[in-house]
Amino acid sequence: MVESRRLARWHSARQSSGVHVFCGRLPGQSVWQKVTVPESNESIRITGVCGSLSADGVTKKALTIALQGAAEYGADTSLLELHDFNLVFAGSVPQDEYPPDVLRLRQAIRESRGIILATPEYHGSLTGALKNMLDLMSIEDFETKIVGLVGIAGGHVGAINSLNTMKTICRNLHCWVLPQEVSIANSGNAFDENGAMKDPALEERLLNLGRQLVKFASMQQKVQQSEFAQLWKSLPTW
């Protein structure tokens, strides 16, 4: 009886991404509240976005290792390669004329709790392909996502400029960026002829990036579930 009375004041809709969105208004309040709550048995979905258009470059290899670290901690992982998507330049057409692949990419981001952005450094910044992909996204696509960053550079300094630029972009997309980040210098010597990373310490950093992403994403999920439980209990039982 109590549950039915509460449901009379709150409306829920299950989304395709495996979450419930509850919308309601507490007594005496004029502002409606929305709480998005993952299902308790929902696995953490981590998506890696490869900013290189190379089919088998260092960026993809490094990103794959980071995703392996996420999978070790039980995450459902996927790798998005931008050359597989038919995208347009941001601002070149109205949003209602975007090709289906733009919507498919945005949906993949929305359904992920954590994102790994990986890019080679071109002329001191991230690739144009990755920047354009991010420009096609909205704040709603990325908001509250946990993000890990990987930068690849051919020189000995590393991809510091690219990493800093991506952090700025992520802040503007309202993401939470992990304090851990991975910069790979001298990328031409990073992997051997068999595709294995030569430096075990660097490989461990990539694996740990994926692990940390799952840990923080899991903490965020539990906090959201706890917040909803407290809000639910605060409703009157009239």
Distance (Å, whole) CA 135 – CA 35: 27
CA 112, distance to chain mean position in Å, is 6
pLDDT at 27 over 50: no
Spell out a b/e string for 160-177, using b for 16 or more CB atoms within 10 Å of the CB, else e: ebbbebbbebbeebebeb
Mean pLDDT on 23-32:
48
Mean pLDDT on 206-229:
87
Q: Computed from CA positions of residues 172, 177, 183, 187, in that sequence, does the dihedral angle turn out positive or negative?
A: negative
pTM of the full structure: 0.79
Q: Percentage of the chain with pLDDT > 90?
A: 72
Answer whether 178's CB lies under 8 Å from 208's CB.
no
pLDDT at 34 over 60: no
Residue ranges of the domains in the chain?
Answer: 2-40+222-233, 45-217
The residue type at 57: G
> What pairs with residue 116 in β-bridges?
48, 148
Residue 12: which pLDDT band, with cuts at 50, 70 and 90? very low
pLDDT of residue 233: 66
Q: Classify 124 in phi/psi space as left (phi over 0), alpha (psi -120 to 50) or beta.
A: left
Nearest 5°: the CA angle 228, 117, 74 is: 55
CATH of 45-217, one of 3.40.50.360, 1.10.10.10, 1.10.340.30, 3.40.640.10: 3.40.50.360
The residue type at 201: A
Residue 4: which pLDDT band, with cuts at 50, 70 and 90? very low
Mean pLDDT on 55-66:
95
Distance (Å, whole) CA 196 – CA 227: 43
